[in-house]
Structure 1
Amino acid sequence: MEILILLALGAAGVALYRSRIDVAVPGVQAPNAAPEPTRPNVVITYEDDYSYGSGATYTAEDVDYMARTLWGEARGEDDAGMKAVAWVIRNRRDSGRFPSSIKGVVTQAWQFSTWNATDPNRAKMLAVTESDSQFRRAQSIAQLVLSGATPDPTGGAVHYANESIIPSSSAAWEWIQTAETRQKIGQHTFYTGVA
């Protein structure tokens, strides 16, 4: 089944987004479609880029990977908390210290727990669709952050953690104590200056 999505964002200077998404439906074989092993029953074909008046360009794949990560890591947060996590992803991509793509950043081993093979949230995150209101919200926030249409509330943070669930005897607690900047937004604390 082929779904054509057209999205015109209303802000001045914001360009049109057009994409074709191929969806594998159980029992229906799309021609030449092979499902991705990480996304059961879903095949997404990314065709076009988003382009904004600010000159920022990003792909539908960038939005999808960021939105899935936001859904898995921060769907219980308000918009401010979800935007802050999105900015950590973008800051990492832009830093030169992490992979240079959104997909590379969020799927880097042991960086975003929702992508870890042992995370109980992973299967849900991979299967989530636009019928989920929190996923639609995550997609919107991903587009805002990737386009630069919303400011970075983290001050350039490339790390964050929910300190309330990290044991003080863990390795994560050690790097938290050496971080330069700490800013709490929602349930997460955001850090810069982590070696």
Structure 2
Amino acid sequence: MRRRWALGASALAAVALPAFAEPGSWERFTIGNAQTADQAVLPMPFEQRGESFPGSAFYYLQPDPAVLTTNGNGVDQNLLDPAAPVGRPFRMAGSTLDRARAQQCLTMVIYYEAATEPHAGQRAVAQVVLNRLAHPAYPKTVCGVVFEGSERPTGCQFTFACDGALARAPQRFFWDRAAAVARAALAGEVYAPVGLATHYHTIQVNPYWAPSLHFVTTIGAHRFYRFEGGAGTPTSFRLAYLGGEPIAAPHPRDLSAASAMADAALDPVALQRAFAAPEVAAPAVRTATSDSVQAHATTPSPRYADAVRTRGGDTLYQAQGLPEAQGIRPEYANSGKWIATPGT
């Protein structure tokens, strides 16, 4: 009897199990109302018909992802001014002492001006210093650019040199970070997004010269500018670095009238106008007339050795047979003229 009941229960379980296991149709297991997206798997280039050959997978290189460089407002920097000029790589010269002082001064300006800025903001500050170094309106040394105007309380080109910031001991982490940026810049690294910028200010202020200069971009907490007109063209940033670095410290205070005039000469608007002013006409080149030849002849001759004097002395080194102002030979009188008037 007990065995008959066991066989009956087994038969009922065998019939009921498919009903529970397959209520309708088999479907993918889902959790609640979670959404599932169909992801299409695209073939790799070497897997496509006509693009493959035996061993082509070994020659495939994944393209580098596009780097999006944005300014402080989140705008793609590459779309701001794609034709903007870019500074030239810095070329170190001079002695080992010059290298050490240049490194020290550039690290100082990066640290005290942009210690908490992003990496791009620190590179931008370093590029401004090197752009000034290549411009004829500024000193020709890194330390000279960094501490220019520090002899006057209101003349510092970089605020930290006058506002007492140097009294604060630098923090090692941020100092090492600034030093790494300085080394890269002095090794020839160019930060293209700021172009030929020579000025910047924080976004909290609005200096009087900002509307007169050409705005380049905003990086971090700084807005960067370059000169308008001739002062901001690439041909103006042509000077090479020759070394001769002064000490890495602010200049001694000088409150004289001459120092005040030098302070006024650093005004960026005045510098921009000076480059825009018409150049003074060069004096006309004088022709070699008999008067000029006679004046040249009155110049005392150098003392020659006896052997040179026996060979003719000073006459050996004087030009002979030079044409006068009207001494053109007749057969060359029409040189450079049209043989016939065009169109006749």
The TM tier, using the shorter chain, reads 0.5 to 0.7
2:217 to 155, 158, 183: 183
Alignment match, 1:79 = 119
CA RMSD for the aligned pairs?
1.8
1:147 is matched with which residue: 181, 184, 187? 187
In structure 2, give the amino acid aligned to 1:97. A
**Offset at residue 157 of structure 1 (A):** 0.3
| Alpha-carbon distance in 1 for matches of 2:90, 2:195 | 22
Q: Which runs of 4+ in 1 moved over 4 A?
A: none
Larger strand percent: 1
Residue 216 of structure 2 aligns to a residue in which SS?
A: strand
Which consecutive unaligned segments of at least 5 residues does structure 1 have? 1-53
**Alignment-derived partner of residue 113 in structure 1:** 159
Larger radius of gyration: 2
Quote the residue 1:174 is aligned against.
Answer: 208
User: Structure 1 residues 136 and 192, CA, compared in 2 at 3 Å: closer, same or farther?
Assistant: same
Residue of structure 1 in register with 2:139 after alignment: 99
* Cα deviation 1:101-160 (Å, max 9, x = unaligned): 0100010111001111xx131212xx43xx611110111101111222243321110000
| CA shift in 2, pair 1:154/1:132, >3 Å | same
Q: How does 1:22-101 map to 2 (within 5 A)?
A: 56-57=91-92, 59-101=99-141
Quote the sequence identity (%): 28
Runs of 5+ unmatched residues, structure 2: 1-88, 94-98, 150-155, 228-267, 273-344
CA displacement at 1:190 relative to structure 2: 0.5
Aligned partner of 2:199 in structure 1 is 159
Alignment CA distance shift 1:95-1:136 (3 Å): same
Query: Structure 1 residue 66: deviation in Å?
Result: 0.6
**2:105 counterpart letter in structure 1:** Y
Of 54-63 and 179-188, deviating more is 54-63
Aligned match of 1:37:
none
